[in-house]
Copies of this chain bind each other. A is one copy, B any other.
Amino acid sequence: MLKEWSGFEKLEEDVLQTRLEAARNRLFVQQMELKTHKLPVLVLMEGWGTAGKGSTIGKVIRNIDPRFFKVATMDIPTEEEKRKPFLYRYFAKIPEAGKFMFLDSGWMDEITTDRLRGGMELSEYAKKIDSVKRFERQLTDNGYLVVKFFFHISEKEQKKRMKALEEDSNTSWRVSRKEHWQNKHYEKCLEVYDRYLDSTNLPSSPWYIVDAKSKKLAELQVLEQLVSSIDIALQNAALAVPLLQNVFPLVRMPKLADIDLNQTISAEEYKTKLKVLQARLRDLHNELYRRKIPVVIAYEGWDAAGKGGNIKRITGAMDPRGFEVHPIASPEPHEKARHYLWRFWTRLPKTGHVAIFDRTWYGRVMVERLEGFCSENDWKRAYNEINEFEKELADWGAVIIKFWVQIDKDTQLARFTDRQNTPEKQWKITDEDWRNREKWDQYEVAIDEMIQKTSTVYAPWYVLESNDKRYARIKALEIVIASVEKALQQKKN
């Protein structure tokens, strides 16, 4: 789309001024409308070096109250960021409902630079494009406005600007080797940028090419486009979007009702096995650390099913410097104000680390579904969104293990009663637990659907039969060990 593009209209100075004023005033009014409608706005500024992305952001934000926007410059990833999935640092930066986030360069710059500098194979590049399209679609499907600008200048104009910047000792630092490389390989870059824009020009988050030759005109184009996009987004409160068919390979799973919960293990056998398995996991954890393989373990299960004790047997085998346990309660206000996966994206482990989630992102299709905390369209869409999320983790190289800790209704009642009657366990039982128990059958339908729809080959569910908690702990350890061994093996080949 870059090559055929014919540039912005020519405007007389007074017309330009009038239109600038109008757009600025509209933006000023819109910031309050955003708040009322809880609309989050992500503005992505991409384009040629020296095209004026940063200075345009500077001008645009003058019309917005500082409480309502943030600006982030996305430079080369830090060492920390390099040890997270590719999209991590972008997902972490998405705005809160009712606020703006301006990104000075983003995922386009990162991907195309890697591609141009020979750091990325074509197949890897295609995969990244898919990731980006899913990422942007997830945002717009979840009510985000995503406005994407590409700042365009000619080779000659870029050269002129670089020279001017370099001649002034106050600004010479702004021209780096990157700009020089870009200008020297302008045609090659143009080709790659053009194809990138084409393949990521989604109807719900289209590209706008900014004719950046004149700074004032560039400001006008960004302001007018931004203001118009916000006006359109404000009209669409809570829209429903088509549900996408699953495209990921699934593992067939049994229904909860068909699971045999009579499996047990003797105290003797438990003790012996526990020791052996924990010793093995200890070794594997070390190897994971050295080989920089990240592990994500997700725990879901009925109240009183024994998640806590199960997790302890896993963590008991590992070096505390190499794992984290994330207990997940209902979201905080700043979390609720963002995409529901945001609080999980920001809690991902570094490569070589293990993250254990005590309750997870699956709350979307269980409690949020049943309690009406999100719309039907929201939770129905979530199966695919979650599969996509876990696909990102798998592509990053993570081992993903998901446990459903299963007990029957009688066992739950016995444990609830025991908790109620034992003073030192009373803190573990709340009215909410009893209320949830009343909805057992509805939960069972939701859990069955969840397990069927999200048990992918790369992130399968495992059911832990936990009427006998010791049996469940041994099984969990065995599954973690087998999964990690498999991953280590595959990485070797």
B-contacting residues of A (Cβ < 8 Å)?
1, 4-6, 9-10, 137, 141, 202-209, 225, 228-229, 232-233, 235-236, 239-250, 252, 377, 380, 452
Min Cβ gap A138→B in Å is: 10
**Known contacts A9-B452, A232-B377, A452-B9: does B242 contact A205 (CB below 8 Å)?**
yes
On whether the beta carbons of B377 and A235 are closer than 8 Å, the reply is: yes
On whether the beta carbons of B245 and A6 are closer than 8 Å, the reply is: no
A204-B242, A207-B245 known; 11 other A-B pairs, CB under 8 Å? A6-B246, A6-B248, A6-B250, A9-B252, A10-B252, A204-B204, A204-B241, A225-B245, A229-B242, A232-B241, A235-B239
**Known contacts A249-B4, A377-B232: does B239 contact A239 (CB below 8 Å)?**
yes
On whether the beta carbons of A206 and B245 are closer than 8 Å, the reply is: yes
On whether the beta carbons of A5 and B247 are closer than 8 Å, the reply is: yes
- List the number of copies, as a whole number: 2
Q: In the complex, what distance in Å separates the CA atom of A207 from the CA atom of B247?
A: 10
> For residue A199, which residue of chain B has the nearest CB?
B199
Q: List the B side residues contacting A141 at CB < 8 Å.
A: 203
Show 24 residue pairs from A and B whose CB-CB distance is below 8 angstroms, ordered by the A residue.
A4-B248, A6-B248, A6-B249, A9-B252, A9-B452, A10-B252, A137-B203, A202-B203, A203-B203, A203-B204, A203-B241, A203-B242, A203-B244, A204-B204, A205-B242, A208-B245, A209-B245, A225-B245, A228-B243, A229-B243, A232-B240, A235-B239, A236-B240, A239-B239
**Known contacts A4-B248, A4-B249, A203-B202: does B236 contact A232 (CB below 8 Å)?**
no
Q: List the B side residues contacting A229 at CB < 8 Å.
A: 242-243
Q: List the B side residues contacting A209 at CB < 8 Å.
A: 245
> For residue A229, which residue of chain B has the nearest CB?
B242
Min Cβ gap A173→B in Å is: 33
Q: List the B side residues contacting A228 at CB < 8 Å.
A: 243, 380
Q: List the B side residues contacting A248 at CB < 8 Å.
A: 4, 6
